[in-house]
Structures are given as C-alpha cells and as structure tokens.
Amino acid sequence: MLALHFGTVLLFAATGLLIVASISAPTVAKIDLLHVPLSNGSAVNFGSLGFCVLKSADGTSCTHTGVAYRIANEISSLGIEPFSGAEASTLHGLTGGLILHQIAAGIAGIAFLLAVCSHRIGFLFASAVALLAFLFSLAILVIDFVTFGSVRHHIRDNGGRAEYGNAIWMVLAATIILLFASVATCFACITGRRRTRTRKTAATY
Ligand SMILES: *[C@@H]1O[C@H](CO)[C@@H](O)[C@H](O)[C@H]1NC(C)=O
C-alpha cells in the first residue's frame, strides 16, 4: 500500500513547492523569481504577480497583487538603461503568463488529491492529471527563464547585479518531481491491478 503511494508523496512535494513559488513577491517579499540588489543597499524582488522593494532602513514596499506588471518601467525607474519599447511590451506580455504558477499549483494539487483517493485504475487518472501538471510546470519554467533571464542579462550588461530568486529553483524542482510522480503513479496503477488479479487467482484454489 505504501509503495503504491510513492507517486502520491511526490505529488504532495511538487504541490508544496508550486504553492510556495505562487506566493512569491508581492505576497511574500522574500520569495522571488529575480533578485536585484541595488547600489544604495536596497534590493528589488520580482515575483509572479508583482514585486517588492526591500529597504534595510525603512522596511519593504510592495506593489498590488495582479496579473501582468510592468518590469521595464521599474527597471528604468531604478536608473538602469531602459528597455526598448518592443522589449518592454514583450516583457509585459510575458508577465501575464506568470499566473501559470498558480494554475500549475492547482493542477498538481488536484492530481495529489486524486492519487490519495486512488487504488488500482484510479491511479491512471491521477497519473494523467499529474502529466498535465508537469506540462504546465514545464511551460511556466520556460516563461520564468525567458522573462527573468532576459531581465537579468539586461541588468548585468548595464553594470548592475541580478540573481535568479529562490522560487525559480522551486519551479525547476517541482517540474522534475512531477515527471517522476506521473510515471510512479502510472506504475502504481499497473502493479495495483496485478496484485488484485494475483489475489483473485489465489482465491480460486
Ligand atoms: C535605493 O534606490 C531605489 C531606486 O531608486 C529606491 O527605491 C530606494 O528607496 C533606495 N533606497 C534607499 C535606502 O534610499
């Protein structure tokens, strides 16, 4: 029974990681996708639905939580060389896709609940939903690295500092775990069925 739920445990871990990544800045300032330390000692943490400016002296100020935000405006207001108009609107479009963090977390959570309630054939359904969660997680991973990779590159090219934040690594881990979870849950379906069949065969003797 416990071995059958190995995939379920993996789904629990992946859901947890995606939930934590979903409550990144501006919800929790310290959880971020891109960390930009400034020369005056402050830092900007970019998250999935906004960003926060962390000042050592007088606390933290964050934007409202909302789908899509203007990274390029913030970059130029930090005194960094501005993005071109086309780059700025591409970045703005990409930030709209960051809502996939919350959606991927939701789908992974559903796959987990299905796997918890499953025995035998139910695992097949849980495995399919886990595979869907994997695809969403992979999509968000690509969007994260394209969006924040280009911002990071731009800041570094202009003499600033920028590092990928903790949440981006959580999404990477969750994506890998979800792939294994989907396979493990599917495997649970096969072994679960074989076990029942063996039991039935034994009972006839
Ligand atoms: C540092 O600079 C940023 C951007 O100009 C500003 O938002 C922040 O308040 C500054 N921090 C301090 C401590 O003055």
Task: Tell me the pLDDT tens digit for each residue of 74-117.
Answer: 999 999 999 999 999 999 999 999 999 999 999 999 999 999 99
% of the chain beyond a pLDDT of 90: 81
Is any ligand 1 atom within 6 A of the Cβ of residue 201?
Answer: no
Q: From residue 79, how far is each of 50, 76, 99, 159, 164 by CA, in Å?
A: 19, 5, 28, 11, 20
Rounded to whole angstroms, how far apart are CA atoms 58 and 108? 38
Task: Tell me the pLDDT tens digit for each residue of 20-42.
Answer: 999 999 999 999 999 999 998 99
Report the atom number in ligand 1 closest to the C-alpha of 56: 13
Going along the chain from its start, the domains and CATH numbers come out as: 6-204 (1.20.140.150)
Rounded to whole angstroms, how far apart are CA atoms 172 and 144? 10
Q: List phi, psi (to 5°) of 4.
A: -65, -30
Rounded to whole angstroms, how far apart are CA atoms 31 and 48? 10
For position 21, what pLDDT does the model report?
Answer: 97
Is any ligand 1 atom within 6 A of the Cβ of residue 78?
Answer: yes
Is any ligand 1 atom within 6 A of the Cβ of residue 57?
Answer: yes
Task: Tell me the pLDDT tens digit for each residue of 39-61.
Answer: 989 999 999 999 999 998 778 99
Could you tell me the two tokens for 20? 């934590």
Is any ligand 1 atom within 6 A of the Cβ of residue 60?
Answer: no
Rounded to whole angstroms, how far apart are CA atoms 96 and 133? 19
For position 57, what pLDDT does the model report?
Answer: 76
Burial of 70-94, coded b for 16+ CB within 10 Å and e otherwise, reads: bbbebbeeeebeebeeeebebbeeb
Rounded to whole angstroms, how far apart are CA atoms 83 and 89? 9
